[in-house]
Chain A
Amino acid sequence: MTAAAAPAAAPRPALAAVRLSKSFGGLKAVTDLSFELPTGGLHGLIGPNGAGKTTVFNLLTGVYKPDTGAVHVGGQPMTGKKPSEIAQAGLVRTFQNIRLFGDLSVLDNVRIAAGVRARSGLWRSLLRTPLYLREEAEIRERARHLLDVLGIAHRADEIAKSLPYGDQRRLEIARALATRPTVLLLDEPVAGMNTGEKKAMRGLIQSLRAQFDVSILLIEHDMGLVMDICEHITVIDHGVTIARGVPAEIQSDPAVIEAYLGVPDEPAPTAGEIGS
């Protein structure tokens, strides 16, 4: 087993995957994936289309159960737990295909997330006890604060699905942060954004770490962004880890170049996907 099995040795990683494997029928989607995300780290997970990146997210968040291997959040084993339990333990994600609570207001989207650990049950809510009223006030305040930080406070009362695309992505991040996560998984946060929006999002992601005391794991197609902001990158292709290291190492790794551009005797795809 890797270091994650003996967390006493090193400072406990915020998130650790230990030899995760998952296959669907005959297709091996993820094979023997291990990595550690240290507390406060900003790591990237990249790979060509169909490499199994989103499957990894689904394994980490409990949507899929791994065939073998384990996931630890803050040293606690998460294997076999439901997505809601894993989220309560501090691992929260955003979605590649945005999944907001579309017909609810922007504020309510964040309030829902801010209230997931509230103690008031049905009776307290119906009787509006002092504890309930206090919690509601806290939830509202926290939601307002997050909308402020993400720069969408002026849209608080709008319906979530009516927001422009970039703001919907921001709202997803605000919603994830509202649950007070220790680890944030961002699934392609700049997909479909223009250069200006990407730049703003890059600054935002970097500032979130310090501001919210959160470790971040990023899936992204945009190489420029990944190389710029990630401290450590894991590259997978067809579910197999083909490289890991700091951005400079990854950029010059022959296996990575081959995975993205193909072997020399094949016609190479446009360089647009790898450069930026």
Chain B
Amino acid sequence: MSARATPGFAGAAVRSLYPIVIGFTLAYLMQTVVAVSIGDYYSKILIDIGIAIVLGVSLGIVNGYAGQFSLGHAGFMAVGGYTAAAIVYYGSIKLFGTKAIYGGSLGPGELLLCAGCVAGGALAAVAGWLVGQPSLRLRGDYLAIVTLGFGEIIRVLIKQTDDVVLSEKKVAAASWWSLMDNLGGGFGFIGGPRYIDAKNPFWVWLFVVVVCLVAYRLKYSNRGRQLLAVRENEIAAEAMGIKTTKAKVSAFMTSAFFAGIGGGLYAHELGNSMRPADLGFQKSIDIVIIVVLGGMGSISGAVIAAIAVTLLPELFRSFAEYRMIAYALALIIVMLLRPQGLLGLQELWEVEWRAVGRSIVTAPARLARWIATAPARARAALRAAADRRQEDRP
């Protein structure tokens, strides 16, 4: 695009890109002011929250907007994470002749980290495209099963790789192609640099801003509304002229891209082990919880839920092992009382707080009525489901 092509190009460019500038500023402040003043412990928790936001918001694009229930987010995360880890570790040796160059936020090592994350995201997006081809013709439970299978396949494949090459000389001599088989297997990718720690959260926050910006602009655009249409009624969406398969694949790829970036950040955070076992089914569930609790299609909801599911195990550390039980209970309660999640499709600033206040005040009475009428509604729901099955034949 040339400056001559559009009158007011500068204005348009500013309007288009100013959030990135804000993101840079925010990430820079997190690095130079916040991380220093709140201390290592809280800064580390904030980083975990940031990575959870990247993963939750990205999953929200496919689970929330497009309504395609994916259980393979950890698989995309692993693709991105291992790609980034390989590029950053082996690349650092090949390019700079050393395993790591720690430079704060914008040194050569950190720029390599950024490149590795983006490359990891790109490869995850390719994986998303591949998975999407056969599986997006499936619906509901079947899609969930296929994506779950994908995550497991990735995990098992990584487990088959050989140990990480620790000798710099050997790395320098080896080809990129052969190094792709040295991802650490079941022990995990050990020895790689840890560019992200309590004192260096810059890249996490930059990508948090980017993923939220992308999710926001997508949601309120024509393309995003098409995804919502697919989720709401696929037959009607197709009948209006929306290419539903294409829409779903693009949602899948966008989501996988940011899952890959989240994986790249996760792989380079101090204290995280990068083992296949840590990126299995349970990790996918952790991310699904963020989307379901926060609201199917709500960015701010996912952010709130990401904060909650990161903070709560931290606050109740001794019970942290029992979090799956707590998740299960929380999920059951949410599914019963608010199946669309905390915020549903709304964002925080769209909520009508008066209505919320009223609903909280009346909650006990409604709960009592809910319990009293439960059997009758269950019967009605079964009948309605049977009717729907009839109707769904177009």
A129 proximity list for chain B (CB < 8 A): 1, 12, 16
A135 proximity list for chain B (CB < 8 A): 222
Q: A63-B394, A84-B241, A104-B228 are in contact. Are A130 and B223 (CB under 8 A)?
A: no
Q: A100-B233, A125-B223, A129-B16 are in contact. Are A179 and B217 (CB under 8 A)?
A: no
- Contact, CB under 8 Å: A122 / B16: no
A121: min CB distance to chain B, Å: 7
Count residues of chain B with CB under 8 A from any CB of chain A: 38
Cβ contacts B342-359/A at 8 Å (1 or 0 each): 001100000000000000
Partner-binding segment picked from A42-50, A110-118, A239-247: A110-118
Cβ contacts B10-25/A at 8 Å (1 or 0 each): 0010011100000000
Interface residues of A in 158-206 (CB under 8 A from B): 175-176, 179
A112 proximity list for chain B (CB < 8 A): 222, 225-226, 228-229, 237, 240, 242
Count residues of chain A with CB under 8 A from any CB of chain B: 43
Cβ contacts B321-349/A at 8 Å (1 or 0 each): 00000000000000000001000110000
B345 proximity list for chain A (CB < 8 A): 103-104
- Contact, CB under 8 Å: A101 / B241: no
- Contact, CB under 8 Å: B242 / A122: no
A155 within 8 A of B: no
- Contact, CB under 8 Å: B232 / A139: no
A233 within 8 A of B: no
B310 within 8 A of A: no
Name the residue on A nearest B230 (C-beta): A101
User: How far, in angstroms, from A126 to B19 measured CA to CA in the complex?
Assistant: 11
Interface residues of A in 91-143 (CB under 8 A from B): 92-93, 95, 97, 99-104, 108, 111-113, 115-118, 120-122, 125-130, 132, 135-136, 139
A79 proximity list for chain B (CB < 8 A): none
User: How far, in angstroms, from A176 to B340 measured CA to CA in the complex?
Assistant: 27
User: How far, in angstroms, from A129 to B394 measured CA to CA in the complex?
Assistant: 39
A143: min CB distance to chain B, Å: 11
Question: Which of the residues A88, A100, A122, A125 comes within 8 Å of B236, measured between beta carbons?
Answer: A100
Name the residue on B nearest A113 (C-beta): B240
Q: A102-B233, A115-B226 are in contact. Are A132 and B221 (CB under 8 A)?
A: yes
> What are 20 A-B contacts with C-beta separation under 8 Å?
A87-B240, A97-B391, A100-B232, A100-B236, A101-B228, A101-B229, A101-B236, A103-B344, A111-B225, A122-B254, A125-B218, A125-B222, A126-B213, A126-B217, A127-B16, A128-B16, A128-B217, A129-B16, A176-B240, A179-B240
Q: Which residues of B contact A (CB under 8 A)?
A: 1, 6, 8, 12, 15-17, 213-214, 217-218, 221-226, 228-229, 232-233, 235-244, 250, 254, 340, 344-345, 391, 394
